[in-house]
Amino acid sequence: MARGWAAWAALGPLLWGCALALQGGMLYPRESPSRERKALDGLWSFRADFSDSRRQGFEQQWYRRPLRESGPVLDMPVPSSFNDVSQDGQLRNFIGWVWYEREAALPQRWTQDLGTRVVLRIGSAHYYAIVWVNGVHVAEHEGGHLPFEADISKLVQSGPLSSCRITIAINNTLTPHTLPPGTILYKTDTSKYPKGYFVQNINFDFFNYAGLHRPVLLYTTPTAYIDDITVTTGVDQNTGLVNYQVFVQGSEHFELEVRLLDAEGKVVAQGMGGRGQMQVPSAHLWWPYLMHEHPAYLYSLEVRLTAQTGAGPMSDFYTLPVGIRTVAVTENQFLINGKPFYFHGVNKHEDADIRGKGFDWPLLVKDFNLLRWLGANSFRTSHYPYAEEVMQLCDQYGIVVIDECPGVGIVLLQSFGNTSLQHHLEVMEELVRRDKNHPAVVMWSVANEPTSYLKPAGYYFKTVIAHTKALDHSRPVTFVTSSNYTADLGAPYVDVICVNSYYSWYHDFGHLEVIGLQLQTQFENWYRAYQKPIIQSEYGAETIAGFHQDPPLMFSEEYQKSLLEQYHLVLDQKRKEYVVGELIWNFADFMTNQSPTRAMGNKKGIFTRQRQPKGAAFLLRERYWKLANETSPHHSAVKMQCLGRSPFFF
């Protein structure tokens, strides 16, 4: 169970136990006639605890008064990663506790209306966070990348307040039981290292950026409110089926009115009560980008609550975008709305320049413009959940998503134990709770490249996958493997085989001529063993922009293009049989830990970290638009692209 912060901190700066999964809903905070929101993005006061124990902030109770009163502070933008913002080299690689603080002005009606509920929402804090408001402990959360909340109504309505002070302590230490896992290595040779010196070891290939990565905000609801909504959809001939379930908190005496509106605002179906099914004749289906002439059609589900409370009648109103579509998997196909779907897309990282993994609207829109320019119809959230706003744009643009949890680097035997398993189950609950209503999400991925050949891996992944299916019956579940097909103990439980391979890169260096045989053997072995559709979930080559060699040599742009072409020859054969997708590694270059094998990060992107194209981007663009034309020959946008005219103007 979750521990109080004092007991938790007393265990030491680098270890902690598992917290319970969040209870209740996690609806995205939208404004409505009954709800307001106040963004807290901008500059926060910041300090890293550089003390040897990393616990000075707790010992001196920095949360009890303004942070500046206990020592010097920095200005820190939120959202962002703290690592690359300052010129302090110590801060870039800092492991331990950092402290954030912000004074928030409150509207008077929030503090005086006892029928109003005030909620603090933190979009992501990597990795373990403890939150105080006006010096009072209000929340703890383990795990980055997913939101958590605290109801602070009593604190801000207890007296004549015009503002509140929010303090957040974050620890980015990774242990064998976190997700992703890591280890702390203490260097005890005092002839080589200072006393108490330690480093954070990780088993994943991206930088362990930390901080407040997503928006922080305050929002309100009535004290009787719509807590959660679950929507699943189906299709019966040309009739759309929208199944809904609404959860209410704060009152046992209430009525619910549910309406479904089309894109023009016309009511097309209605329902009453907390659970039901609405039928939509001649429904517009949600189709992926380039798969249909009218992709990404979204309805609006309006839920209106009327409740009786001790304070009198109360109402709440919430609107949820809904896409009507189905997802299914056969022995050799992935089906969306009953039609075969082929993933031609990318793997991504939320990573660019000094923002680290901090959410950024200009970067997000740029990336989506590049995806559409590329003709990509999908991506995988490698290797952690992306911001909620990313998922919303995927819904709007028709970009299909394989939604992956932070289960990357699960390689140590102790990371398959019960403590790790329990936390993994809780993370999947949080991920499904947040993203369950996004039509763009068509499959859950519970891990990337674990040592799934270890003996405990079979039970571990059987349990995680079964739990995820119990949370959401409407989507297939997978994990991404790099194990041998004969040894992988988790593969029997997935719905789709996702395989990473880097032929002629991590072995057979420079020998492009062996790719065809090795890749064909890979596909045939996996399909013969499991009779399930296969996605080539990663493939690629490190490429430094501007490096050119002919004949192609490793790290040149020509080598990256030649390697991709060899993969494509085999993919074009096997996609006619049972291969249902190809996702390039990677969309853009990204930062990693320093090592002699990484020159300023991972350079496998087809775009640079500044989002400029390498030669391979044009190769993939030609391929992806050709694939789109084959699967949607009547799509006007595809026809225009094939004629050399851009179908979109951004």
Buried b (16+ CB within 10 A) or exposed e, 603-616: bbbbbbbebebbbb
Lowest mean pLDDT among 125-129, 156-160, 400-404: 156-160
Asked if residue 184 is part of any domain, the answer here is no
Statement: residue 20 has pLDDT above 70: no
The residue out of 158, 189, 221 marking a domain boundary is 221
Residue where the block lists tokens 């309505």 = 157
Catalytic residue (one of 101, 449, 557, 582): 449
The candidate with the shortest Cα–Cα distance to 19, out of 143, 126, 119, is: 143
Confidence of residue 13 (pLDDT cuts 50, 70, 90): very low
Domain identity same for 284 and 385:
no
- Burial degree of 634 (CB within 10 A; 0-12, 13-18, 19+): exposed
The pLDDT score that the predictor gives to residue 7 is 32
DSSP string across 345-383: EEE--S-BGGGBT---HHHHHHHHHHHHHHT--EEE-TT
- Residue 308: CATH number of its domain: 2.60.40.10
Q: What is the pLDDT of residues 317-347, one digit of tens each?
A: 999 999 999 999 999 999 999 999 999 999 9
Domain that holds residue 504: 342-642
Bigger pLDDT: 372 vs 4? 372
Confidence of residue 82 (pLDDT cuts 50, 70, 90): very high
Residue where the block lists tokens 């007991």 = 7
Cα–Cα distance, 136 to 133 (Å, whole number)? 5
The pLDDT score that the predictor gives to residue 635 is 52
Cα–Cα distance, 444 to 468 (Å, whole number)? 8
Mean pLDDT calculated for residue range 423-440: 97
The pLDDT score that the predictor gives to residue 18 is 30
Domain identity same for 392 and 493:
yes
Domain identity same for 139 and 229:
no
The pLDDT score that the predictor gives to residue 582 is 98
The residue out of 199, 221, 243 marking a domain boundary is 221
Domain identity same for 213 and 266:
no
- Residue 128: CATH number of its domain: 2.60.120.260
The residue out of 290, 322, 354 marking a domain boundary is 322
Domain identity same for 410 and 460:
yes
Task: Count Cβ atoms below 10 Å from residue 548 Cβ, excluding itself.
Answer: 12
Mean pLDDT calculated for residue range 429-434: 96
Confidence of residue 196 (pLDDT cuts 50, 70, 90): confident
Confidence of residue 23 (pLDDT cuts 50, 70, 90): low
- Burial degree of 455 (CB within 10 A; 0-12, 13-18, 19+): exposed
Confidence of residue 598 (pLDDT cuts 50, 70, 90): confident
- Residue 511, helix vs strand vs coil: coil
Statement: residue 3 has pLDDT above 70: no
Cα–Cα distance, 649 to 646 (Å, whole number)? 7
Asked if residue 266 is part of any domain, the answer here is yes
pTM: 0.92
Asked if residue 586 is part of any domain, the answer here is yes
The candidate with the shortest Cα–Cα distance to 646, out of 368, 377, 375, 397, is: 375
| E strand or H helix that includes residue 309 | strand 299-309
Specify whether the CB–CB gap between 76 and 46 falls below 8 A: yes
Catalytic residue list contains 542: no
Cα–Cα distance, 607 to 545 (Å, whole number)? 9
Asked if residue 13 is part of any domain, the answer here is yes
For residue 405 the two structure tokens come to: 């949890």
Statement: residue 355 has pLDDT above 80: no
Asked if residue 472 is part of any domain, the answer here is yes
Phi, psi of 576 (to 5 degrees): -80, -10
